[in-house]
Structure 1
Amino acid sequence: MSEILFLDGAQTRAALDPRRVLDAVATALVAIGRDEVSVPPRIAAHTPHGLLGAMPGHVPGLGLAAKLVSVFADPARPGRSSHRGIVALFDETDGRPLALMDAEPLTEIRTAAAATLSARALARPDADRVAVIGTGAQARAQIALLAAVAPETPVSVAGRDPGRAGSAAALHPAGNVEERIEDAVRGAGTVFCCTGAVLPVIRRAWLAPGTHISSVGGSHGPELDAETVRDATLFAEWHGAATTRPPSGAHELQDLPPERRVTLLGSVLGGEHPGRRDEDELTLFKSTGHAALDVAAAHVAFAVARAEAWGTRITL
């Protein structure tokens, strides 16, 4: 018989220490860049109303895990979808199941961590103002992470709902609300785009020279216009962001010309690629998620929960 640790949603969220998650996600991204991870292509079972996707992965030193996540239309929010799931962590040496945890907070923070690492690696050193576009769960996770690691950096928040934008901005001690997305984006050195958009919400004309954009949304369509993608130097977690079709791949990176290269963020973090080349370069990190990042976050949650004696132990 095996004993596993069960973490509910609140316990999973509490165990995801922001700085430790950043470090673990950086390790996973570097491992992806060096082709050291084992992550098979994503698979999904489809119903008339949604899908159930499976994302297993192994990262040496961080562990072996699998995420099962359902993506279904949300009747309460027309045009939006719900993401619910679980993550199972296993011992990478003998295969024992170790923990079962809520996928929602884990996915939110590992996505925000990858976006934050892209800004650290690719934004101009003098980029002193941040814009976060979006007011949903992922935007809030991004703002909360920025509050934990960069509480003094001004953050402008904008989205379709001013009320939700206000509550999201309140998560950051230097947060403020802009009425229009354009106003938040203009003059920002770093733009985090975290929306459920089906059409572009960012326009090239709004972006100043040298801006870094981190786009983690757009599961149902492009967040960014074609001109932004055309002019930017492109980065992603994995090459499949450009070579596989959505939803595994990014809408914005489909059918790129042969000469357009997508650089792996892990190659920049690992020192194999220089990243930004000059002050005026437009850099774009397009995230589609990766199972190795789930492994990284699950590794942190398990370690913290075990040290704090959180969770419920279950015998299988």
Structure 2
Amino acid sequence: MTDTQNDGLLIVGEDLCEKLVGRADAFEAVEAVFAAMAKGDAYNFPVIREAIGYADALYGFKSGFDRAGKNLGVKSGGFWPGNMAKGLTNHQSTVFLFDPDTGKLSALVGGNYLTAVRTAASSSVSIQHLARKDAKVLGMVGAGHQSHFQMRAAAEQRDFEKVVAWNPHPDMLPKLGETAKELGLEFEAVTPEQLGAQADVIITITSAFEPLLMKDWIKPGTHIACMGTDTKGKMEVDPALVAAATVFTDEIAQSISIGEAQHAIASGALKEDQITPIGKVINGDHPGRTSEAEITLFDGTGVGLQDLAVASVAARLAAESGEAIRVKL
């Protein structure tokens, strides 16, 4: 990243992150860090994620070092389920970036918007590299805050004509329909079975602990991006569907322990060596999709290096624009 240490600590707030970091920036940063991970040039440190016993909150840390991008840091934050009633985003986080040459804190970057845009970029990267080129129908399972970011990012990767959507709370679907309309896409609220029958690409972005999509509902050639499962016990799709698909992920260690693959792995239906880091596809070391009928599945668990990558972009752009706050520690 650009040296931000010359004039003290750089502070980049949420509004500035949203102003400066677009979907293309996030896509490029996430794709690059996945490629670096696959080459062994970047690695994540063990994740800490705990219930704090207060406000029903989950709190934790994601950290790592990208030698290729020179990004070192930690994302700190979690999930406060009561925040929505207070007019706040349930997910709250901040990214701390350090100078890898000296260890000095170089930037403090708001993580809420960046978490949303980097998560959408992750599924978008998987669609770019794994979905059929002729995909026309996008399926959305989930209609929360993150789903709008997911839809906008996905729409840039294929020439979609229609969005079909299902959400456990149907009253949230009309707002998702408005986003589809903004993108010029037809929108239809459907049952999960109908969604599986129509969609060429499916994004699941929920906090479910039970399968919402079953194996028999999915048609051949579908690409599925499972983006909601990031904790032990969570589940969005039928483990039999995971086992039947060609599985890719951001990081294998998280995929088998806290990701969508955890249940298929636990039952023995899927083996660890059957999961491929998507960085290998990006680098040309794996062919990705090998047939039009193949079902591909991306297990997007969310890794700290993604957060560091997009936060580094925000810090660089803020430093270049002169709009960030600088303080001396």
Question: Which residue does 1:38 correspond to in 2?
Answer: 43
Correspondence for 2:111 among 67, 92, 103? 103
My pick for the range that moved more, 114-123 or 57-66, is 57-66
SS at match of 2:179: coil
CA RMSD of aligned residues (A): 2.5
Residue correspondences, number: 311
Mark the CA change 1:30 to 1:68 in structure 2 (over 3 Å): closer, same or farther: same
Question: Which residue does 2:214 correspond to in 1?
Answer: 203
Write the distance in 2 (CA, Å) between the matches of 1:46 and 1:39. 21
1:267 maps to 2:267: no
1:58 CA displacement: 1.5
Q: How does 1:173-184 map to 2 (within 5 A)?
A: 173-175=183-185, 176-184=187-195
1:161 CA displacement: 3.0
Question: Which residue does 1:16 correspond to in 2?
Answer: 21
Report if aligned partners of 2:83, 2:90 keep a CA contact under 8 Å in 1.
no
1:148 CA displacement: 5.6
Write the distance in 2 (CA, Å) between the matches of 1:269 and 1:225. 27
Residue identity in the other structure for 1:55: K
Mark the CA change 1:251 to 1:155 in structure 2 (over 3 Å): closer, same or farther: same
1:149 CA displacement: 5.8
1:90 CA displacement: 2.3
1:260 CA displacement: 5.5
Question: Which residue does 1:240 correspond to in 2?
Answer: 253
Gaps of 5+ in 2: none
Question: Which residue does 2:60 correspond to in 1?
Answer: 53
Write the distance in 1 (CA, Å) between the matches of 2:261 and 2:326. 39
Residue identity in the other structure for 2:286: H
Write the distance in 1 (CA, Å) between the matches of 2:103 and 2:158. 38
1:46 CA displacement: 4.4
My pick for the range that moved more, 227-236 or 262-271, is 227-236
Residue identity in the other structure for 2:317: V
Report if aligned partners of 1:62, 1:299 keep a CA contact under 8 Å in 2.
no
Write the distance in 2 (CA, Å) between the matches of 1:186 and 1:26. 30
Report if aligned partners of 1:85, 1:102 keep a CA contact under 8 Å in 2.
yes
1:111 CA displacement: 1.2
1:40 CA displacement: 1.4
1:73 CA displacement: 4.0
Percent identical: 26
Mark the CA change 1:206 to 1:243 in structure 2 (over 3 Å): closer, same or farther: closer
Q: TM-score, normalised by structure 2?
A: 0.85
Report if aligned partners of 1:3, 1:98 keep a CA contact under 8 Å in 2.
yes
String of CA shifts for 1:54-113, please: whole Å, max 9, x gaps. Answer: 111221225222100123443868xxx932111112233333323212211111111111
1:45 CA displacement: 5.2
SS at match of 1:302: helix
Write the distance in 2 (CA, Å) between the matches of 1:264 and 1:95. 29
1:157 CA displacement: 2.9
1:156 maps to 2:164: yes
Mark the CA change 1:249 to 1:286 in structure 2 (over 3 Å): closer, same or farther: closer
Gaps of 5+ in 1: none
Q: TM-score, normalised by structure 1?
A: 0.89
Report if aligned partners of 1:17, 1:301 keep a CA contact under 8 Å in 2.
no
Correspondence for 2:296 among 268, 283, 303? 283
SS at match of 1:170: helix
Mark the CA change 1:218 to 1:282 in structure 2 (over 3 Å): closer, same or farther: same
Report if aligned partners of 2:131, 2:201 keep a CA contact under 8 Å in 1.
yes
